[in-house]
Copies of this chain bind each other. A is one copy, B any other.
Amino acid sequence: MSRSGEFELIRRFLAPLATAPGAGGLEDDAALLDPPGEARLVVTTDSMVEGVHFPGGGPPGLIARRLLRTNLSDLAAMAARPEGYLLNLALPERIDDPWLEGFAAGLAADQEAFGLSLFGGDTVATPGALTLTVTAFGSAAAPVRRSGARPGDRVFVTGPVGDGCFGLKAVRGELEAPRLAERYWLPTPRFGAAEGATAAADISDGLIADLGHICRASGVGAVIELEAVPLSPEVAALGTQARLEALTGGDDYELVFAARESAAIPVGRIVAGGGVTVLDAAGEPVPLARQGYAHD
């Protein structure tokens, strides 16, 4: 096959990404993690399967960067700063060296952008679908969890909601919106935004669902003002139904969080009780067909 063997693949494509001393040039059975000083060490992991979590045949550099950024977004939700990551690749036979070169170039670009090192990983062959796992490490002086929201907090988001699901339509050619396609492939982890929040999550399952996770973990409810939710112009132009879809579409990787105050965009408030209620401009509850993307 036109792919380097495991050792050659590591030497050529992955070892150059392992810049941290603790990675030992990927020569060891395990990596050493440097302690983050006074901060807590935070770890998160996400797996992606081609054809399930991203469209088949996508550009390898963008697949790499999206994989990395969706994990970094989880660190940002914990109010952590990024340190490095492990990479597990299960590669079908069709993955060749040019693909791996593009994939590694994407990782290198985002390592540079976010100040990361590869720490280690594992590369295996699979008869099935391309399966990618990143485990990302960060440090947090004051980690934010999902369980600290209290009635009286306001609810904030860090950017437009719905770019993930409408971006996917753009990637699939179902919508003419090149900027949203780019937003799908290259979400921006919102480092710093959740600092000082009482509870935070990244929007991967949809605003309503992820805010629902915060509510359940915190034992509170939330009210969202539909008109306050920021939308990209391309999404706003699609009308009322799209506005509702944006609330329950996933893959935005903006943050939703509860806080007393923030420079981010206020969209609602935390209340006693449970669940998430969306109110229209007249203050009437909006019926939602579903709470979010119940992926598995």
The 8 Å CB contact of A28, one of B78, B91, B120, B138, is B78
Specify which of A44, A86, A200 lies most central, judged by the most chain B CB atoms within 10 Å of its CB. Answer: A44
CA distance A122 to B48 in the complex (A): 9
CB–CB A296/B125 < 8 A: yes
Residue picked from A53, A88, A91, most chain B C-beta under 10 Å: A88
Residues of B near A51 (CB, < 8 A) are: 127
Closest B residue to A140 using CB positions: B32
Q: How far is the CA of A268 from the CA of B88 in the complex (A)?
A: 34
Most buried by B among A49, A78, A129, A133: A133
Interface segment out of the listed A102-110, A142-150, A281-289 = A142-150
Is A119 close to B, CB under 8 A?
Answer: yes
B32 touches A41 (CB 8 A): yes
Type the 1/0 row for A115-130, where 1 means its CB is closer than 8 Å to any CB of B: 0000111111111110
Q: Is the CB of B74 within 8 A of A29?
A: yes
Q: Which of A223-267 contact B (CB under 8 A)?
A: none
| 8 Å CB contact of A126 from B29, B31, B78, B129 | B129
What sequence of 0s and 1s flags, for each residue 135-175 of chain A, a beta carbon within 8 Å of any chain B beta carbon? Answer: 10010100101110000000000000000000000000000
Q: Which of A4-12, A57-65, A178-186, A272-280 contacts B (4 or more CB under 8 A)?
A: A4-12
Most buried by B among A43, A92, A140: A43
Q: Restricting to A1-42, which residues have a CB under 8 Å from any CB of B?
A: 3, 5-7, 9, 24, 27-33, 35, 40-42
CA distance A89 to B45 in the complex (A): 11
Contact B128 A43 (CB under 8 A): no
A88 contacts which of B33, B133, B296 (Cβ < 8 Å)? B133
Contact check, B294 vs A49: say whether CB atoms are below 8 A apart: no
Q: Does A80 contact B (CB under 8 A)?
A: yes
Checking B29, B44, B124, B138 against A120 with a beta-carbon cut-off of 8 angstroms, the contacting residue is: B44
* Contact of A42 with B33 at beta-carbon distance under 8 Å, contacts A5-B294, A7-B294, A28-B78 already known: yes
Q: Which 4 A/B pairs are nearest by Cβ-Cβ distance? A: A128-B128, A30-B44, A128-B129, A6-B296
- Beyond the given pairs A30-B138, A90-B131, 8 more chain A to chain B contacts, judged by CB atoms under 8 angstroms and listed by A's residue number, are A27-B146, A28-B78, A33-B43, A44-B120, A47-B122, A51-B127, A122-B133, A127-B129
12 CB contacts below 8 A, A to B, read A9-B296, A28-B145, A29-B75, A29-B202, A30-B74, A33-B42, A45-B122, A46-B122, A47-B88, A52-B126, A127-B128, A128-B129
